[in-house]
Amino acid sequence: MRLSVLLAMAFAVLPLGATAQDSAARSLAASCAACHGSDGRSVTTEVIALAGLPKQHIVSQMKAFRDGTRPATVMHQLARGYTDAQIDLVAGYFAAQRK
């Protein structure tokens, strides 16, 4: 097989040639994983899994934490550390993960 064919195959099956934005979303989401589990799959029942939650739900909850309309022990303090654009990226990443 010629190299160009191999490369074409690789691109077709490997979305790993991630765009900068994809990898930024992945890295941002990883900052949630210490408490919420790798890729948002929590191993406990006390802290919710984020994997597979609807994107709009995550965005709205983060904003509710931020403005204090949803009470929290720590999430209000963490939510205020992220920009709207970052919350959007994180929410999109978790929404795309299998539960």
Using CB under 8 A, pick the residue from 63, 78, 88, 97 that binds other proteins.
78
Would you say 60 or 86 has its CB closer to other proteins?
Answer: 86
Using CB under 8 A, pick the residue from 31, 52, 60, 63 that binds other proteins.
31
Q: How far is the CB of 53 from other proteins (least distance, A)?
A: 16
**Element containing residue 94 per DSSP (H, E):** helix 84-95
Residue 87 dihedral angles phi and psi, to the nearest 5°:
-60, -40
Can residue 92 be called a binding residue for other proteins (CB under 8 A)?
Answer: no
Cα distance between residue 13 and residue 28, in whole Å: 25
User: Is the Cβ–Cβ distance between 64 and 70 less than 8 Å?
Assistant: yes
Can residue 99 be called a binding residue for other proteins (CB under 8 A)?
Answer: no
